[in-house]
A and B are shown apart, each in its own frame.
Chain A
Amino acid sequence: MADALIFATLNGLVTGMLLFMLASGVTLIFSMMGVLNFAHASFYMLGAYFAFAISQQIGFWPALLLAPMLVGVLGALVERYGLRQVHKSGQVAELVFTFGLAFLIEEAVQLFWGRATQDFRSPAALDFALFTLFGQDFPAWKGVMLCISVSIFIGLYFVLTRTRTGIIIQAAITHPQAVANLGHNVPRLFMVVFGAGSALAGLAGVIAGPVLTTFPGMASVLGSIVFVIVVIGGLGSLTGALVASLLIGLLQSWAIASGLGMADLLALLGVSFPPDHALRDLWRLTLPQVAPLLPYLLLVLILIFRPSGLFGKRES
């Protein structure tokens, strides 16, 4: 039991930090521009695919650097030539635009790489167990993932609190109007933030691609979860995004590892039902089965009872 718990916690941390790399971008973009970016996970997918393509040509390590940069440039272009055009049609149009973009990117990925899963692997040099506990291996690559995502977190924290741009961004989050009045080039700042957020998502894609498999559906698998996190944490709150990322990562990981089910609960209560009972599906539910549902359940509950999220101040 203890070994399962430790590994579930480690895996939950890895997933949680990965989710945070995406959630932080969505949060920053939302706070500044008021746009909830549906296509954010698509940039994550592009990161994985670009890295796969580059790693086939010149190796994995250059791809780790180049792919996120490419995605970042693409994101900036999308902001400059797409989103800015839609901005004047209002918030709903912007949300619909990013939704369409996500759809388009998924199709474009299939155009270039097809529907099949790509054989994108972490570098062979890292194909060893970082440590072995209770006879179970913890792969080195997951350690690297954790390292990268934690350093990104620290870097982000540093940029936001110590640099000039970061301070302007912080100001824009709390007082969106004021920053424009101070004469900063707000459109360019938007482009930079959107590009940087996309690049972060791209990086997440590069490191997650080998583990979570690189296929055209990878964006939609993660996309709605990231949304859930951003809303649960509280729209516009980076702290909230971090807490919610870890919460969701750990919750899912534990639920899957536990293997408990309704049957166990019923046994504990000493109740039993005939196997052909009308609600038989309910009595057979197991936690691993329900794990994918948990984030959405949490989302709906949070939105009903605390629409500003765990750490949020604004409602929408």
Chain B
Amino acid sequence: MRALVLWAGFALVLMVLPLIFDSVLGVSILNQMAIAIVFALSYNLLLGQGGMLSFGHAVYFGLGGFLAVHAMLLTETQTLAIPLVLIPLAGGLCGLCAALFIGSFSTGRAGTVFAMISLGVGELLAASSLILVSFFGGESGVSADRTFAPPFFGVDFSQDVQVYFLAAAWLFVSVLGMYLFTRTPAGRLANAVRDNPERARFLGYSAGRVRFISFAVAGFFAGIAGGLFAVNYEILTAGNLNAASSGQVLLMAYIGGLGVFIGPILGAVLLTLINSLLNHYTTLWMLYLGLVFVLTVMFLPRGLTGLLMLHRVPWQQGRLGLLVRPYTLTAIPGAVLVLSLIGLLELSQRETGPFVYLGIPFAPGSAVSWLALLAVAVIAFVALRRTLPGLRAAWAEASAQSPRSMHEGDAP
């Protein structure tokens, strides 16, 4: 019952979102998010649920997308009339077929060998995509026009909002599908094989077969995400299936958190926002993204949702209040430090003109500007070092009495 309410709530949120964010940019970002969420969740079936570190998941996204574009082209040339709402499914089936083929030889082993095969296959396909021009369209990619598809109950998908509802429907179905998959024997066995493939064998299961199933399901949903991409952007290029694209999805899943089902959703939402908003303000957003990623791997091995989950014990024990003061005390110098460092980085990128940052004008090339920011950063750093022990002590107190609570440093 509770689950039903949750899913209804999720559907409702999806319906309401475009009413709140009704600008062109808003809808465009929502569409990107829907695509990213499906893609990131499918990646989590591999890494988070199945323990398979893939450096080539964009292969299934990209192949699904390219096939979807070609399916749209078939409609455009009136060879075959495929309703636009079914295009993502075509992408999904293509992703599934590719995953069935590649999974048949790559899922026998996990760990480094699997990671390397995924890398090799990814690079192989990325390089071939530039050679096989008739399918991948070479440097310029393949494009199609979605409005040629037969109207779906009078909707012709000429507007982004209409595409949003198509994407939201597929998002809902995909999230539900992947969630349910994690609750089936095959899904649970994927966790078991992730934790201990050896033991799973002695319980009657071939670890490779279990991985293969997860891999195929992940390929299917990645293909759906690719199909949604094709519908939304009406173009696919080699960049959609290369290593950078595979890296992006790894970033989303990891920053969001692999342990919890909603982790990658959070990561996908956050990274889409960063990708589409931050690049209006700074040219350095990729650098910030990289920094956030590396710091996450170092200090939050379970990602942002892992960090939130850490608060469960203090919360259950009603001791969350203990953390408010130390959190505030740490957050202030922390924020000042981060902001001043960002200021320094941004300042280094300006060559002329006043650089107005947080309402304060700075002059590139003036020693005063540099020294002022540097001084603030140093002071904030010193203050942070003094407040951190207090936070640690408060943490210890808030989560005491439960020695078996979750630890941050557990195996991933």
For A96, what are the chain B residues with a Cβ–Cβ distance below 8 Å?
A: 53, 250, 254, 297
How close is B259's CB to chain A, nearest CB, in angstroms? 12
**Interface membership of B301, Cβ < 8 A:** yes
**Interface membership of A97, Cβ < 8 A:** yes
Q: B345 near A89 (CB under 8 angstroms)? A: no
User: In residues 215-233 of chain A, which contact B (Cβ within 8 Å)?
Assistant: 220, 224, 227-228, 231
A222 to B412, CA, bound (A): 30
Q: B127 near A293 (CB under 8 angstroms)? A: yes
Chain B: which residue is nearest A299 at the CB level? B120
Q: B113 near A104 (CB under 8 angstroms)? A: no
Q: B412 near A281 (CB under 8 angstroms)? A: no
**Interface membership of A186, Cβ < 8 A:** no
For A103, what are the chain B residues with a Cβ–Cβ distance below 8 Å?
A: 247, 290, 293
**Interface membership of B207, Cβ < 8 A:** no
Q: B121 near A90 (CB under 8 angstroms)? A: no
For B47, what are the chain A residues with a Cβ–Cβ distance below 8 Å?
A: 92
A111 to B283, CA, bound (A): 9
A100 to B300, CA, bound (A): 14
* B212-255 interface bits toward A, Cβ cutoff 8 Å, 1 = contact, 0 = none: 00000000000000000000000000000001000100110010
A316 to B124, CA, bound (A): 22
**Interface membership of A91, Cβ < 8 A:** yes
Q: A104 near B294 (CB under 8 angstroms)? A: yes
Q: A227 near B113 (CB under 8 angstroms)? A: no
Query: Which of A85, A92, A292, A296 contacts B53 (CB under 8 A)?
Result: A92
**Interface membership of A137, Cβ < 8 A:** no
Give the number of residue pairs across the A-B interface with Cβ within 8 Å: 123
Interface size class of A (residues with CB under 8 A): 35 or more
Query: Which of B135, B286, B409 contacts A89 (CB under 8 A)?
Result: B409
Q: A224 near B123 (CB under 8 angstroms)? A: yes
Q: A316 near B113 (CB under 8 angstroms)? A: yes
For A91, what are the chain B residues with a Cβ–Cβ distance below 8 Å?
A: 111-112
How close is B343's CB to chain A, nearest CB, in angstroms? 14
For A162, what are the chain B residues with a Cβ–Cβ distance below 8 Å?
A: none
**Interface membership of B98, Cβ < 8 A:** no
**Interface membership of A130, Cβ < 8 A:** no
**Interface membership of A256, Cβ < 8 A:** no
A186 to B305, CA, bound (A): 34
Q: A111 near B349 (CB under 8 angstroms)? A: yes
A293 to B124, CA, bound (A): 6
Q: B127 near A296 (CB under 8 angstroms)? A: yes
How close is B346's CB to chain A, nearest CB, in angstroms? 10
Chain B: which residue is nearest A97 at the CB level? B297
Q: B132 near A281 (CB under 8 angstroms)? A: yes
User: In residues 78-130 of chain A, which contact B (Cβ within 8 Å)?
Assistant: 82, 85-86, 88-93, 95-97, 99-101, 103-104, 106-108, 110-111
Query: Which of A100, A111, A224 contacts B284 (CB under 8 A)?
Result: A111
Chain A: which residue is nearest B133 at the CB level? A281
For B53, what are the chain A residues with a Cβ–Cβ distance below 8 Å?
A: 92, 95-96
Query: Which of A100, A282, A292 contacts B293 (CB under 8 A)?
Result: A100
* B122-139 interface bits toward A, Cβ cutoff 8 Å, 1 = contact, 0 = none: 011001100111110000
* A59-82 interface bits toward B, Cβ cutoff 8 Å, 1 = contact, 0 = none: 000000000000000000000001
Known: A290-B131, A300-B117. A107 touches B287 (CB 8 A): yes
**Interface membership of B341, Cβ < 8 A:** no
Q: A107 near B290 (CB under 8 angstroms)? A: yes
For A90, what are the chain B residues with a Cβ–Cβ distance below 8 Å?
A: 411-412
Q: B290 near A316 (CB under 8 angstroms)? A: no
Q: B105 near A304 (CB under 8 angstroms)? A: yes
Known: A90-B412, A111-B287. A315 touches B116 (CB 8 A): no
How close is A229's CB to chain B, nearest CB, in angstroms? 11
Known: A108-B287, A307-B109. A101 touches B301 (CB 8 A): no
**Interface membership of B298, Cβ < 8 A:** yes
For B297, what are the chain A residues with a Cβ–Cβ distance below 8 Å?
A: 86, 89, 93, 96-97, 100
Q: B298 near A82 (CB under 8 angstroms)? A: yes
Please provide the 6 A-B residue pairs with the shortest distance between their CB atoms, ordered closest to farther: A104-B290, A299-B120, A107-B287, A316-B112, A89-B301, A296-B124
B residues near A (Cβ < 8 Å) are 47, 51, 53, 55, 105-106, 109, 111-113, 115-117, 119-121, 123-124, 127-128, 131-135, 243, 247, 250-251, 254, 284, 286-287, 289-291, 293-294, 297-299, 301, 345, 348-349, 409, 411-412
**Would you give 9 A-B contacts (Cβ < 8 Å), ordered by A?**
A91-B111, A100-B251, A107-B290, A110-B287, A281-B132, A299-B117, A303-B113, A304-B117, A307-B113
List 15 additional contacts besides A220-B243, A228-B120; criterion CB under 8 Å: A86-B297, A89-B412, A97-B294, A97-B297, A97-B298, A100-B290, A103-B293, A104-B290, A104-B294, A278-B134, A289-B131, A299-B116, A300-B124, A303-B116, A303-B117
